[in-house]
Structure 1
Amino acid sequence: MNLCLRPRILKTSLFSNLCRLSTTSPEVIEQNETILIEDTENVQAKEAEIEKKRNKSRLSESHYNIVHGRRPYETPKSTAHLTVKYNRKMYGKYGSASGVNPSLCWPTKDEIKEKLEYEAVAYPFTIKEMMEAAAEKRKEEQLAIEKREQDLAMKFEKLAMWKKELNDKLKKKVAEAEAAKAKKERLVEEVRRHFGFKLDPRDERFQEMLAKREKEQKKLEKQARKEAKEKVMIAQIQKKSVDLV
């Protein structure tokens, strides 16, 4: 081929190619759109594969989405994900990014009716009545507290007297115990003097004589108490007689 003819042939080929690419026939446009769609899908697939490889945590898809503040599942995985309650929860947590229609968040007529019936049974009183009842309860509690504080104050005032009474009772018991011990020792000594020789306290004769002495002692004490009581009565009678005169 002649070299001088080559530039003209190249220009002709380039012009024909440009004309072919710039044609507006439907077949060519559809072919170009198909190519663009396929390229876009390939790019998206590659990006998804890259994103998957970036996940070094080995978390499941749902957990990975939750960690990154996204909805766990893009598509429902069970019947629970189709319920109104679940979709309301998703919208409440992720907002418009959840892809849920906000109208689902409004209660239906049946739900409103059911809620009103529940509140009528669970909360039969009006707000004013509940406030009055709460105020009355607080008043009663305050009165109970004040009464308890008054009782404590009165008991605290009597504490010194009660301590004295308790100490007196303890002293009296100690004195009675010591008197009983001294009385027992005195009776044992009398029994020993009665026999005139040393005798084992566990001996039967010793025990019999000791019981006899104790019985006599009780009789004497009873007689002494009776005489003391008679003296008190006589003194009271004499006092009344003097008062009458």
Structure 2
Amino acid sequence: MNFHKLNITAGISIRCLKYSTNVTKPELPASFVNDNVEYEISRDKSGLRRQHKNILHETNPYSEAHSWIHLTEKYQRGVYGKYGAKSNISPQICFGTKSEIAAAKKFQTITQPKTIQQMIETARAAKAAKLAAIAEREDGIAKKLEKLEQWKADLNAKVAKREADAAAAIARKERLIEEVRRHFGFKVDTRDERFKEMLEQKEKEDKRKQKEAKRKVKEEKMMAKLVKQTS
């Protein structure tokens, strides 16, 4: 490797570096500097249209009408309701003319003949009636719940009485059948006509006896009641 060439190259580069650091930068002439020029600091880079910028800044999009729609009362009322005094629209447009107000009043008297106070009173009366009906129904339910146990007891008593009556009727039927068989002195088929006739007679006699027994019980109760009243 040729170290002599390397030393020469390094020396040249060092001398060039020293020369470049000693060179002074040129200054601009005084005629090129103008302190009176106003430079634009900010630029509009959004690309939005004027009406869109106004909407962004919450102002009236259009300073003047660009379409027939912008001249309608509905549009102008909406703009005033949204932007207020910034819209440069007279608030008078939000109120109808005398003829419109008169027509609205006439329509209201037909569709809503009652005043607001009357409607409030009607609603209050309806609500009070509804609450009273609910309270009455709840009271009725509470009273029925109080009688529930008594109703259960009565129902159980009726069921027991019916079961007892059914058992007594079965026993009475069997007793009458046995009496008919003893009357004939031998075993008779229950489908035999003689057996049926005798059984019917026995049933009639038994009913008559039961009726007589009930009458006696009733008379005894009446006598006991009279004795109690006179004593």
Which of 112, 119, 125 pairs up with 1:130?
119
Change (3 A) 1:97 1:153: farther
Paired AA for residue 69 in structure 2: V
SS in 2 for 1:101: helix
Normalising to structure 1: TM-score of the pair? 0.54
Q: Which residue number in structure 1 is paired with residue 222 of structure 2?
A: 233
Q: Which residue number in structure 2 is paired with residue 197 of structure 1?
A: 186
1:211-238 deviation digits (Å, cap 9, x = unpaired): 0000111111112122222222333333
Which of 105, 115, 124 pairs up with 1:116?
105
Change (3 A) 1:234 1:128: closer
Change (3 A) 1:234 1:143: closer
Structure 1 portions without partners, runs of 5+: 1-95
Once residues 98 and 159 of structure 1 are traced to their aligned partners in structure 2, the CA distance between those partners, rounded to angstroms, is 79
Q: Which residue number in structure 1 is paired with residue 154 of structure 2?
A: 165
Structure 2 portions without partners, runs of 5+: 1-64, 75-92
Paired AA for residue 238 in structure 1: V
The answer to whether structure 1 residue 147 and structure 2 residue 136 are counterparts is: yes
Q: Which residue number in structure 1 is paired with residue 69 of structure 2?
A: 100
SS in 2 for 1:100: helix
Which of 155, 169, 174 pairs up with 1:185?
174
How far has the Cα of 1:111 moved from its partner?
A: 5.5
1:170-227 deviation digits (Å, cap 9, x = unpaired): 1111111111111111111111111122211111111100000001111111121222
Change (3 A) 1:233 1:157: closer
Would you tell me which structure has more helix in proportion to its own residues?
1
SS in 1 for 2:207: helix
Point out which structure has higher relative CO (alpha carbons under 8 A, 6+ apart): 2
Once residues 212 and 140 of structure 2 are traced to their aligned partners in structure 1, the CA distance between those partners, rounded to angstroms, is 47
Paired AA for residue 195 in structure 1: F
Change (3 A) 1:177 1:148: same
Aligned residues: 147
Q: Which residue number in structure 1 is paired with residue 53 of structure 2?
A: none
